[in-house]
């Protein structure tokens, strides 16, 4: 971790809850960025005290951040190893997208029927902000929020919980697939096409476009993981 958070993010008095929340979120965002950038590699143990010193904060927001990142699937927490950065695998990639592909027809059909005008406007804003994103991390966060929005529009809490978990975990694989930058532009165009299908109430087109969109991420991530494995085998 090459930089630390500003000391202005130090945890304030307990009664200042809004500021505590902002510190927690800032630390969570920073650790997430460092994981996605590869500054903290998969399999690395995350010691709360070390992270607190690196980011210039107390242990409390670090502990809360690791809890949130574990819920997203970016960090694994076990009794014996503590917090460890999640390591992407080809097997997990295939499982994630197999499950998502199975659930998508139901989720998209319900979401197209139930999505609100306010949600459509928010989706439009997210896609525009992603096109103007100043960093890969901003784009990834916008992508995560956009797909969560579509999932939540189905108004099925159990289905949404499953899809949110898979969506958070797939962020690692989306990150793997986003090189070169032209792929981001292609993804932005695909998001726009999906949104237009939602606006038109076209369930068939929305499902087809979403499955195609996820399929491209799957193929690119699979290709890159296989290339990494071959490189490791040749060493």
On whether both 46 and 60 belong to a single domain, the answer is yes
On whether both 121 and 136 belong to a single domain, the answer is yes
Residue 30 is predicted with a pLDDT of: 92
Residue entry with tokens 């979401």: 111
Helix 136-152, helix 17-36: angle, nearest 10 = 110
The model's pLDDT over 188-217, given as tens digits with 9 standing for 90+, comes to 999 999 999 999 999 999 999 999 999 999
The model's pLDDT over 46-77, given as tens digits with 9 standing for 90+, comes to 999 999 999 999 999 999 999 999 988 899 99
Domain with residue 54: its CATH number is 1.10.10.10
Total domains present in the chain: 2
Q: List, as own/partner pairs, every contact residues 218-222 make where C-beta atoms lie below 8 angstroms and the sequence separation is at least 24, other chains included.
A: 218/93, 218/94, 218/97, 218/173, 220/176, 220/177, 220/183, 221/93, 221/173, 221/174, 221/176, 221/177, 222/90, 222/93, 222/94
Give the residue-averaged pLDDT of 169-192.
85
Q: Is there a contact between 123 and 117 (Cβ–Cβ < 8 Å)?
A: no
More confident residue, 37 or 223: 223
Name residues whose C-beta falls within 8 Å of residue 61's C-beta, 6 or more positions apart in sequence.
Answer: 11, 20, 23, 24, 26, 27, 28
Assign 83 to helix, strand or coil: strand
On the question of pLDDT at 6 being above 60, the answer is no
On whether both 125 and 35 belong to a single domain, the answer is no
On whether both 134 and 60 belong to a single domain, the answer is no
Assign 207 to helix, strand or coil: helix
Q: Is there a contact between 5 and 30 (Cβ–Cβ < 8 Å)?
A: yes
The model's pLDDT over 145-166, given as tens digits with 9 standing for 90+, comes to 999 999 999 999 999 999 999 9
Rounded CA-CA distance 58/9 in Å is 9
On whether both 194 and 103 belong to a single domain, the answer is yes
Rounded CA-CA distance 216/224 in Å is 12
Q: Is residue 56 part of a domain?
A: yes
On whether both 187 and 154 belong to a single domain, the answer is yes
On whether both 94 and 187 belong to a single domain, the answer is yes
On whether both 59 and 128 belong to a single domain, the answer is no
Rounded CA-CA distance 77/44 in Å is 12
Residue entry with tokens 């529009």: 153
Q: Is there a contact between 73 and 167 (Cβ–Cβ < 8 Å)?
A: no
**In the beta sheet, which residues pair with residue 46?**
83
Assign 222 to helix, strand or coil: helix
On whether both 172 and 147 belong to a single domain, the answer is yes
On whether both 159 and 141 belong to a single domain, the answer is yes
On whether both 51 and 135 belong to a single domain, the answer is no
85, 120, 144 — which closes off a domain? 85
Give the residue-averaged pLDDT of 15-29.
71
On the question of pLDDT at 12 being above 70, the answer is no
Q: Which domain holds residue 181?
A: 90-234
85, 117, 141 — which closes off a domain? 85
**Tell me, what DSSP letter sits at residue 2?**
-
Give the residue-averaged pLDDT of 106-118.
98
On whether both 200 and 218 belong to a single domain, the answer is yes
- From residue 61, alpha-carbon distances to 48, 72, 113, 138, 213 in Å are 9, 16, 40, 21, 36
């Amino acid at each position: 971790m090459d930089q630390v958070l500003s000391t202005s993010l130090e945890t304030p008095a307990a009664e200042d809850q809004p500021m505590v929340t902002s510190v927690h979120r800032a630390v969570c965002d920073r650790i997430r960025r460092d994981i996605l950038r590869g500054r903290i590699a998969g399999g690395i143990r995350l010691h709360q005290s070390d992270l607190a010193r690196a980011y210039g904060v107390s242990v409390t927001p670090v502990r809360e951040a690791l809890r949130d990142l574990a819920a997203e699937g970016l960090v694994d927490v076990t009794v014996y190893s503590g917090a460890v950065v999640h390591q992407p695998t080809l097997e997990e990639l295939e499982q994630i997208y197999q499950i998502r592909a199975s659930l998508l027809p139901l989720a998209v059909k319900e979401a197209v029927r139930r999505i609100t005008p306010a949600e459509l406007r928010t989706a439009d804003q997210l896609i525009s902000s992603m096109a103007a994103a100043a960093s890969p991390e901003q784009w990834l966060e916008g992508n995560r929020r956009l797909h969560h929005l579509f999932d939540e529009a189905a108004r099925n809490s159990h289905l949404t919980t499953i899809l949110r978990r898979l969506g958070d975990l797939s962020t690692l694989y989306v990150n793997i697939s986003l090189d070169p930058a032209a792929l981001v532009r292609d993804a932005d165009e695909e998001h726009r096409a999906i949104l237009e299908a939602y606006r038109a109430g076209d369930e068939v087109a929305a499902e087809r476009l979403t499955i195609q969109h996820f399929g491209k991420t799957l193929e690119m991530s699979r290709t890159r993981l296989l290339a990494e494995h071959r490189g490791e085998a040749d060493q």
